[in-house]
Copies of this chain bind each other. A is one copy, B any other.
């Protein structure tokens, strides 16, 4: 963590955000977007996904995107990596960090990753070992930490178990993700406390979705429980993820330094909203743009 930066925001828009778009976004638009986010001051940008292009055609140009961006030395550029093949592409593209993933829900793991939680972790053993040997950071992302679309409730112990597994695997940072946005404030406090018993609190990130409008309340609760890393995408019209702008507005109001310039993020969001022809879903983003127009 840099001096003066109390909270780290992981901007996942170029990957998690654009991935959901059905029309292919041109490579040069992705590059300009990432460059704008770099200039805004993000310490970590999720820039690509090296899954099979047959799974996610939108992410097929990962190597070209990584080759085209203007890097900032103090920014970590991450990519999702599902296997050794993906790691190979990640190494060729010189990403700084890979993201491996699993779920706290057995039902979700079976349905979405086609294997048990146990198997999903063991599949990453070689990937993580090799990535670490090559000097890459590794982030482990855990889906369904606050509820599952298939099994409903997810016990706090299941989350803690998964955190321990990713810790043992050698992850440098671990995400607790509310994949379907069903978590609420007090629950977040309990889950973070349980995860903190397995892994250093300052290396745990909260990724909250706004499906039920709860994301910011959950972030405040997670902050109060000690989390200092939050993952979110600038708004791009899709519901689900909480908008980075709203999180930055919150942090600014709380007097918490993020090192990120909110106005530059609002501009980046305007750029991509117009490039992909979608209105912004960020309330703070819309309000700030309206104020500019009025001024």
Contact = CB atoms under 8 A, between A and B. Distances in A.
A201 B183 CA distance: 28
Contacts of A187: 253-254
B211 A283 contact: yes
Interface of A: 181-187, 210-214, 216-217, 219-221, 239, 243, 246, 249-250, 252-255, 282-284, 286-287
Contact of A186 (B182, B211, B253): B253
A102 to B, nearest CB: 24
Q: Which of A219, A243, A252, A287 has the most chain B CB atoms closer than 10 A to its own CB?
A: A287
Contact of A243 (B185, B213, B239): B213
A186 B217 contact: no
Contact of A250 (B181, B217, B253, B283): B217
Contacts of A181: 287
| A-B interface, 6 closest residue pairs, ranked by CB to CB distance from nearest | A184-B253, A213-B246, A213-B283, A216-B217, A212-B284, A217-B220
A284 to B, nearest CB: 4
